[in-house]
Structure 1
């Protein structure tokens, strides 16, 4: 299994720290390559989900904003991953977090091209908590 695929599976199961780590291992050897922004975007979106799960508004806003911006040049899909629904979900999260009340947001999923669903919706019961408290 590639580190990209491993990261997607971890992300979709709410293990955002571990997804971040898998993608970082893929990105680190070629930080200036053509896919640099793609991996930075995935890493930052995962970090935003982790911050959100800890109710860290500022961290979630910052990471989600930068993550979505890194991913935009790769829309609608890249390396077989549907990025448009992910970026659309993150944009909605940014709007929701701008208000004074803490919003209850469904964490996004990353789907592959050709999958039956093009969604950025939560896995059932997924809140994205990280029991080890890692960042």
Structure 2
């Protein structure tokens, strides 16, 4: 968990108890200035975290997929989600936006699985699979849609029976077929 005042909720998010202020800008958005671990969890301010994934980076689909694959392989699915989120925000095609959103959801689902948050992982893995499934017959950018859908659904089901917390790198899917 982050600092001593924060509590992790069932969804894997942290919340500050009443009376403890969080680091927010004038509009109430989180500043995200705190260091994070490899799964995106906040660390104490004085801790050394992993390098943050820059947000708002414009990439081609091929660059996004390559960078996200490397992050997934390195056990950093939270960071891969940031790459997918940039592609999602940048895409002007609603059909393709749903694909990128689904890939981001799969990455966050893996993040939650590696954090031990089974319910959050299952929900996001299934939503992610549902968002990429429409591309099954015509996968864009060489994305392994069928494999990703099958793997996400299998992992969501398997988590009900696991007694361990899986390592993120062990859950890394192959994005391209």
Q: TM-score surpassing 0.5?
A: yes
Runs of 4+ in 1 over 2 A off after TM superposition: 29-34, 101-106
Aligned equivalent of 1:56: 117
- Count of residues paired in the alignment: 112
Higher helix share: 1
Aligned equivalent of 1:23: 84
- C-alpha change, 1:55 and 1:64, in structure 2 (3 Å) is same
Aligned equivalent of 1:7: 68
Give the unaligned 5+ runs of structure 1: 114-135
Q: Which moved more, 1:40-49 or 1:74-83?
A: 74-83
- C-alpha change, 1:98 and 1:31, in structure 2 (3 Å) is farther
CA distance in 1, matches of 2:87, 2:73: 18
Q: Which structure is higher in RCO with an 8 Å CA cutoff and minimum separation 6?
A: 1
Deviation at 1:39, TM superposition (A): 0.4
Superposed CA RMSD in Å reads 2.2
CA distance in 2, matches of 1:19, 1:82: 16
Normalised by the length of structure 1, the TM-score is 0.71
Normalised by the length of structure 2, the TM-score is 0.56
Q: Rg bigger for which structure?
A: 2
Deviation at 1:33, TM superposition (A): 2.7
Which of the residues 133, 142, 150 maps onto 1:80?
A: 142
